[in-house]
Structure 1
Amino acid sequence: MRLRFVLSQTLQGLSRNLAMTVSVALVTFVSLMFVGAAALLQTQVGNLKNDWYDKVEVSAFMCPAGSPEPGCAAGEATEDQIGEIGTLLESEALSPYVDEVYLETKDEAYEAFQEQMADTVWAQSLTVEQMQVSYRVKLVDPEQYQIVADELEGRAGVEVVVDQREQLEPLFLVLNRATLLSVGLASVMIVTAVLLITTTIRLSAMSRRRETGIMRLVGASNLFIQLPFMLEGAIAALVGAVLAVGGLFLGVRYLVEDWLAGSTPWVQFVGTADVLAIAPLLVLAAIALAGISSVVTLGRYTKV
């Protein structure tokens, strides 16, 4: 009997404040969409780092003939200088940081260039002698690339040291900034959602003062009086959370898995499984928003 009464009061409150209820659901939906997008972006950054950081190499390009670099003022790197760099990379001092060392000769560099740029004018004009010897260094821990780079830079015969992380960091920076933007927008929308929920509950409580007064007179507890109002906010927020999960699921399914992943299969993108993984957190966040808003508002308007 009590449960039926609470449910009937909840449905009446939702119907009386239908416009505000829809507003709460929509604002919660947008808020949690941004929260979910931020979580998925951070998951994507983690996926990219796991995939690409393991493949990061430090490349040491030896001086070619006629290089304008100050370190190549003596001319093209000699066999002794090339051998010294190889010995350094395979030394015991760098063994904790270096996993594998690969020497690319001029002939190998020329063949690789011809394969990659076969249809360009450059491929027709370059010769083997214009290529340069280089070392490709695979690291034990890509986070410690600077240690190996510092050992190679400035060595006799080394023109330039290139770290592939320098090409990846701008991408991660953009994704991290997008995450921060999503978090900022989500914070603003969450505050808006809280204000809307409190307003909805306050209006509902004020419109039913006579009913709550009668319930107090017959000895109803505060929890029994407040429960319908709390359920109103929770239902509206829960609808917003379900819409947010559905929106993220459809977006990832069709935009990421079907479109982006189909055109760039070598990249591990987030998937619908990641959306389902964060779905419980979004639902709990919606319930927490509604619960906190209800407690703050009802403590003032319905407490005996």
Structure 2
Amino acid sequence: MRARFVMSEVGIGLRRNLTMTFAVIVTVATSLSLLGFGLLSNSQVGVMKDYWYDKIEVSIYLCGDLSEAPSCSAGKITIPQKDQIEQDLKAIPVVQNVFYESQADAFKRFQERFKDSAIAQNVTPDQLPESFRVKLKDPTQFAVIESAFSGRPGVDVVQDQRAILEKFFRLLNVLRNGALFIGLISVLTAALLISNTIRIAAFNRRRETGVMKLVGASSFSIQLPFLLESIFSAIFGWAVALGLLSGFKVLIDQRVAPLLTFTRFFGWDAVWIASLQLLAVGLFVAALASLITLRRFVKV
């Protein structure tokens, strides 16, 4: 079968069902865009986890004048206790680095973090505790530090920053899964619309296909133009979705990233990988929906 004849049939079919073709393109573009946003959300969660987990520290707050923990009943931590804690920390294999932060250092960091807030004016250095900030080789080994220093004389509290981040990432995971679910549902909707479009196209061209059957055309030659129509529509929809995802990335780079400098965002590589995944999904769904519909409504 000549390629020129097939392409002419495809062109005729697309023009004849212009409204339905446009609806398919818009639906595919919307569904792939939603699924793409879900994939990019997944990439963003991964980037943020890698970025923040690498910065996670265990904070060991030391007893001060205002501490009320039972381990602080003897009052403010002494210099020998402080030196012993630091020595013991450095001897633990899972510890990568140990940083001591005095009350003055804690106050300076607090002022920098909350410089635009009224709360910064109501806090004095003596209200902030001394601490050891411990970076672990493996952030999941917090229990080793907690068991060794929690409740120890001179130690007020042992805080794991990972526990705080886990709550945040659980929320992000819910939002990501929701975006992926909506995207998959919309892809299913696109598949149903493609199937319905093929049915309408097959009905409108039943005379042409009837003639082809009479002259002995194979099932493949009759069904191929319909299949290519749905595939071309899916490709056009994918191109629109790619444009939307690229625009979303540009928006993040130019508008969002300069405002949220405390974290990282997914790169262009994530956009290209997601676009290839979306192209594969779009082609698979279009081909599958078309083949199932054609086997039922276009028979030889």
For 2:157, the equivalent position in structure 1 comes to 160
Residue 223 of structure 1 is matched in structure 2 by 220
Match runs of 1:9-88 below 5 Å: 9-88=9-88
Counterpart CA distance in 1 for 2:243 and 2:168 is 28
Match of 2:191 among 182, 194, 208: 194
Whether contact under 8 Å (1:257, 1:271) holds in the other structure is: no
Judging changes above 3 Å, is the alpha-carbon distance between structure 1 residues 110 and 271 closer, same or farther for their aligned structure 2 residues? Answer: closer
Q: Quote the RMSD (CA, aligned, Å).
A: 2.3
In 2, Cα distance between equivalents of 1:297 and 1:25: 18
Q: Matched residue pairs, number?
A: 299
Q: CA deviation at 1:191?
A: 1.2
Q: Which residue of 1 aligns with 2:253?
A: 257
Does 2:135 align with 1:138? yes
CA contact (8 A) 2:110 2:120 kept: no
Alpha-carbon separation, structure 2, partners of 1:121 and 1:4: 74
Paired position in structure 1 for 2:272: 276
- After superposition, residues 229-244 of structure 1 pair within 5 angstroms as 229-244=226-241
| Residue identity matched to 2:257 | A
User: C-alpha distance in 1, partners of 2:107/2:114?
Assistant: 10
- Deviation, structure 1 residue 125: 6.5
CA distance in 2, matches of 1:112, 1:231: 62
SS at match of 1:160: strand
- Change in 2 beyond 3 A, CA 1:12/1:112: closer
Residue segments in structure 2 that go unaligned for 5+ positions in a row: none
- Does residue 109 (structure 1) correspond to residue 100 (structure 2)? The answer is no
The residue matched to 1:68 in structure 2 has which SS?
A: coil
Q: CA deviation at 1:111?
A: 4.7
- 2-structure distance, mates of 1:82, 1:75: 13
Q: Partner residue of 1:286? A: 282
Match of 2:209 in 1: 212
Q: Quick one: distance in 1 between partners of 2:144 and 2:152?
A: 14
Deviation at 1:107, TM superposition (A): 4.3
**Whole-angstrom distance in 2 between the partners of 1:21 and 1:293:** 15
Instruction: State how far apart, in whole Å, the 2-side matches of 1:28 and 1:179 are.
Output: 20
SS of the aligned residue for 2:132 comes to strand
| SS of match in other structure, 2:74 | coil
Counterparts of 1:91-110 in structure 2, within 5 Å, are: 91=91, 94-95=92-93, 97-110=94-107
What TM-score does the superposition give when structure 1 sets the normalisation length?
Answer: 0.89
Contact 1:113 1:123 in 2 (8 A): no
Residues 274 and 15 (structure 1), Cα distance of their counterparts in 2 relative to 1, 3 Å cut: same
Are the aligned partners of 1:256 and 1:271 in contact in 2 as well (CA < 8 Å)? no
Whole-angstrom distance in 1 between the partners of 2:28 and 2:120: 56
Q: Is the 8 A contact 1:47 1:269 kept in 2?
A: yes
User: What amino acid maps onto 1:30 in structure 2?
Assistant: T
Cα deviation, 1:83-140, whole Å, max 9, x if unaligned, reads: 332232122xx21x11011222344434545655678676676355x54321110110
User: In 1, distance between residues paired with 2:278 and 2:34?
Assistant: 11
Q: Is the 8 A contact 1:241 1:283 kept in 2?
A: yes
Q: State whether structure 2 residue 263 is matched by structure 1 residue 267.
A: yes
Residue 109 to residue 266, structure 1, CA distance change in 2 (3 Å): closer
**TM-score when normalising by structure 2:** 0.90
Q: How many Å separate the matches in 1 of 2:267 and 2:53?
A: 21
Q: Give the whole-Å Cα distance in 1 for the aligned partners of 2:66 and 2:258.
A: 44
